[in-house]
Amino acid sequence: MPHTPEDKKKALTRLRRIKGQCDALERALESGADCPPVLQQLAAIRGAVNGLMSEVMGMYLHEEFGSAPNLEAGKKKSIETILSLVRTYLK
């Protein structure tokens, strides 16, 4: 969970953007929109949720392991590698 005010603000901003996308999707479904725009909106929402998950996971890993004062450079690089892999998977 984001603990710094800046990280919390970033996560909440992303979440509010996702909420807006979901509201737009709801309106599209209620109005009987065609399938292609609905599918496109669903894909955008999925991407936004995955982006938020990646961001929160990155915050968590950096908070748990990246800020340790005696963390060696190799472990810091491992954290970045893990985050890169997760971000690639979530795209």
Number of domains in the chain: 1
For residues 1-27, one letter each, b for 16 or more C-beta atoms within 10 angstroms of the residue's C-beta and e for the rest, the string is ebeeeebeebbeebeeebeebeeebee
Residue 49 is part of which domain span? 5-89
- 0.85 exceeded by pTM: no
50-80 confidence digits (pLDDT tens): 999 998 988 888 888 766 666 677 777 888 8
CATH number (domain holding residue 79): 1.20.58.1000
